[in-house]
Amino acid sequence: MLTTLRSHSLNLLDALWCFLALCFLVAFCIHKTSRRYETCRLYVLFQDLIRYGKTKQHLKRDEWLRVFDVPKRWFWHFYAVSVCWNGFLLIVYLVLVSQHQSQDPSHQWLAGILAILTGLPDFAIQVPQLSTLLVQLLLWVHSLRRLLECLFVSVFSDGAMHLVQYAFGLGYYLVLGLTVLGSDRLETGTGTLLSQLEWFHVAGFGLFAGASLLQHQSMLLLARLRTGRSGAVETLAHRLPRGGWFEVVSCPHYFAELLIYVSFSLIFGGLSFTWWLVVLYVFFNQALAAQLCHDLYLSKYESYPKHRKAFIPFLL
């Protein structure tokens, strides 16, 4: 049943995503409750680690901290890595399930990694899993779209991010692809891929498509704040976003990101405990980023609607 999670023993993947979710929950709570310590050096260091782009520009920090700055426009590196790595994993998975070569020595490295991450010593890809294939494919599509948006839509200023954030972002998508392959072990697919098709695959794909459209439209609106009618860049200044879902929340693109990950969980039938931990991590991660942007808008624009939420419409 969709609403019931099977018994599941914690493994390395679960521990990793649970730890990351907890870290960002703690960071969110600290940010919300520690503003009275703005002059404390430890507080400044903490803010330096969680902020990037426009939310970091007015942070009062020592010059030595700027040594660890890298351009925020390097965000495209994350998606380039994801397109290459997760595209590679997708191809390997297709080869394994199409030729039933899960025991092929040339691919034992993947089975070995997944065995360590999932805690299943006999981990093997024996039958094509529609959920795994669909999520891996949509993750690749999502990464490709975000890469193209970074390169051809977004207009980046001279904003920066911390070197730790950059390293984390590179590693994130490497682990994420492996998490997809290790998440769908609750059910064993049988028969052809088409025969495995269920209503939740269709529902998940529909949510993915809608959330992707929302995110793309939001990125277009953000880019138009800096371009003229001809599409040429006119300014790198930060302006108040308007239109679309920006009238409801400060960061609809972050909300859309959460929905995309929820759509993957739905494609897994809602049964993957590991992937729900990934969703939990994304929730706290995006909530923190959205709250930082929301705080900036409230402090910078006196006319900013006080009732507008940061992340989730009418809630958060």
309: in domain = no
pLDDT for the residue numbered 3: 43
Give phi and psi for 180, each to the nearest 5. Answer: -60, -50
In this prediction, residue 126 carries a pLDDT of: 53
Q: Domain total for the chain?
A: 1
What value does the CA radius of gyration of the chain take, rounded to a whole number of Å?
21
Which DSSP string corresponds to 11-77?
Answer: -HHHHHHHHHHHHHHHHHHHHHH-GGGTT-HHHHHHHHHH--GGGTTT----GGGGGGEEEGGGHHH
Q: Which two tokens stand for residue 270?
A: 């809602």
Q: Does 1 map to a domain?
A: no
What pLDDT was estimated at residue 4?
Answer: 43
Whole-number pLDDT of residue 203: 96
Q: What is the pLDDT of residue 112?
A: 82
Q: Which pLDDT score is estimated for 137?
A: 96
Residue 73 is part of which domain span? Answer: 12-300
Inside any domain, residue 7: no
Pairing of strands 160-162, 69-71: antiparallel
According to the model, what pLDDT value does residue 123 have?
59
**Which distant-in-sequence residues (6+ apart) come within 8 Å of 157 by Cβ?**
53, 54, 72, 236, 237, 238
Asked whether residue 51 is assigned to any structural domain, the reply reads yes
Positions in the chain whose pLDDT score sits under 50:
1-6, 186
Domain-embedded: residue 79: yes
d(CA 265, CA 273): 9
Residue 191 lies inside a defined structural domain of this protein: yes
pLDDT in tens, 59-95: 888 888 889 999 999 999 999 999 999 999 999 888 8
Any bridge partners for residue 69, and if so which? 162
pLDDT of 75 reads 92
Residue 141 lies in a domain: yes
Predicted confidence at residue 219, as pLDDT, reads 94
How does pLDDT run across 137-164, given as a tens digit for each residue? 999 999 999 999 999 998 888 889 999 9
Mean pLDDT score of the chain: 86
312: in domain: no
